[in-house]
Every structure is written in structure tokens, then in C-alpha cells.
Amino acid sequence: MSLPASHTPRRNRPRSVTTPALKQPAALTSGLAILITTILFLLAFFSLRSSQQQAKVSENSLKKLEQEIQGLESDLERSRQATANNQSDLAREKVIRNELLGQKPGEIILQVPERERQQQKQTLETTLNSLDEWKKLLF
């Protein structure tokens, strides 16, 4: 007893794996995934672009600061050289005047002994002390 092919039992019938009802949600799901992916890529693109602009601004400000530092360093070096020249000239003149008793034309040099210097300091101190005493008495 052979049955026609249309009358095969349900167990033996091949089942279709995809149905038209399942294809539509898959299409919607893949479209939605493409949309989400596109949005994420756009966000990443704009984020990278803004980061690049910030990096350029930082780079420009860094260059300006480096130029300013170089200018300040050159000014500092010039000041140091000028100070060294001035100090060396003053040091030479001090040695010439004090140790070698050198003088400029038309100049008279007086040497004050150490004892007189100490006495002058003491008189200045006593004068200041006496003024303080008067201030205390009057005020």
C-alpha cells in the first residue's frame, strides 16, 4: 500500500527552516543593527575629530610657550653676562683702590683707621639710643 506523496505522514515531511514571517523581523533587525552601527561610527568620528582639534590647539600653545621660554632663557643669559662683566669691573676697581692704593686723576684718597670706624659706629648707636630715650620721655 503505497500512498501518494501528498499523503505522507507529518513526521516524514520536510519542514521549511525559514518562513516568510521570520524573514521580515530579520530584515528589520539587520536594518536596525546597521542604523545603530552607523550612529556609533558617526559618534566615534566626531569624537576623534574634536580630540584632533584639541590636540592642535594644545600643540600651538606648547610651541608658543617653548618660544617664550627660549626668549626668557636668552634674556637670562644676557643678564648673567652683564652681571659678570659688571662684577668683574667692580672687583678689579676694588682691588686697585684698596690694595694697591690706586686713584683716579684729581682724586684724593683718605684712609680711615679701623679704630675710628668703630668709634663712629658706637657714636651712631648712642645717638640713636639717646633719641629713643627722648621719644620715651616725651611720648
What are the tens digits of pLDDT across the range 17-29?
555 444 555 656 7
Asked, for residue 87, whether it belongs to a domain, the answer is yes
Average pLDDT for the chain: 77
Residue type, 3: L
Asked, for residue 126, whether it belongs to a domain, the answer is yes
- Alpha-carbon distance of 139 to 133, in angstroms, equals 10
- What does each C-alpha distance from 85 to 5, 16, 99, 133 come to in angstroms? 117, 101, 21, 47
Domain count, the chain: 1
Across 4-18, 55-69, 85-99, the highest mean pLDDT is recorded for 55-69
Domain span at residue 51 reads 30-104+113-138
pLDDT value at residue 10: 57
Asked, for residue 41, whether it belongs to a domain, the answer is yes
Number of C-alpha atoms within 13 angstroms, CB side, residue 105?
0
